Amino acid sequence: MEQFDTKMVYITGGSSGIGLETAKLLSSLGSDIVLLARNSEKLEIAKNLTEKAKKDTRQKIRTISVDVRDHHDVYDKMQRAVDEFGAPDILINSAGINKYADHFENISHEMFNEVMNVNVNGVRNVTHALLPSMKEKKGHVVILSSAAALFGMFGYTAYATSKAALMGFAESLRYELKPLGMPVTVFFPPEVDTPMNLDEVKTLPKEGRAMKSMGGFLMPDHVAKIIVKAIAKKKYFVIPGYSTRLLYFFHRMSNGFLSRIVSDFIVKRTAQK
């Protein structure tokens, strides 16, 4: 995929999981990478791993510690990044949390707000800060949503809400950017083996765990390959994983009827165990 050679790619959530695996893959294809995350120590480890994957020694791998929730921090640091490194040809919004997978009554206003601030405002802030500089390059905006945005799930009132918001955001943004020749790609992966699962497992109800298993389980390096291929082909709507695509097909064909019947049955059976 020579179209990634010498491209400048900014990746939020680049210190772990899907973001890091995508950074390593793009580095192996010749891209310059700017990794964005909060934790400086994790960023340094991610940088070293991404450096090792480089196709050419002339490639530049850089890191920026930034809190995507804080629009002041984002605008300041993204402006400095563009001035120093150049505008991104590709922006990959991968930062996200799922710390509060629980019954809705157990999720406080502060908890719900935190998920929305990271998962929704974080994407909004970084995209808005970088969009003006990306226009000249006709840059590509990539957004990682979730299969939870397509179906909803027991115990996911905060997370699914945030990811469904990204689906609406991506759809609206696509209409605005298409006339400018700027592609938008939005991904809806099922469960992926990432550090985020360590937060979720602490509180996810057993009914949610049973429902989630229907969508399958993917490794982050596999998802990264799908992301890169979709960017290369400028696809808009991408659902990784055969099981999730099949579930979404029946969901759409039945207007949600089949998926709700199956999910209700799983919830009832799991609760009785």
163 annotated active-site:
yes
145 annotated active-site:
yes
Distance in angstroms (rounded) separating the CA atoms of residues 257 and 264: 11
Calculate the alpha carbon distances from 106 to 102, 152, 158, 261 in Å. 7, 18, 11, 26
Classify 186 in phi/psi space as left (phi over 0), alpha (psi -120 to 50) or beta: beta
- Catalytic option among 54, 77, 163, 212: 163
Distance in angstroms (rounded) separating the CA atoms of residues 221 and 17: 9
- Catalytic option among 145, 146, 162, 259: 145
159 annotated active-site:
yes
Contact 114, 162 (CB under 8 A): no
Give the type of residue at 42. K
- Catalytic option among 27, 159, 162, 212: 159
Q: Catalytic amino acids?
A: 145, 159, 163
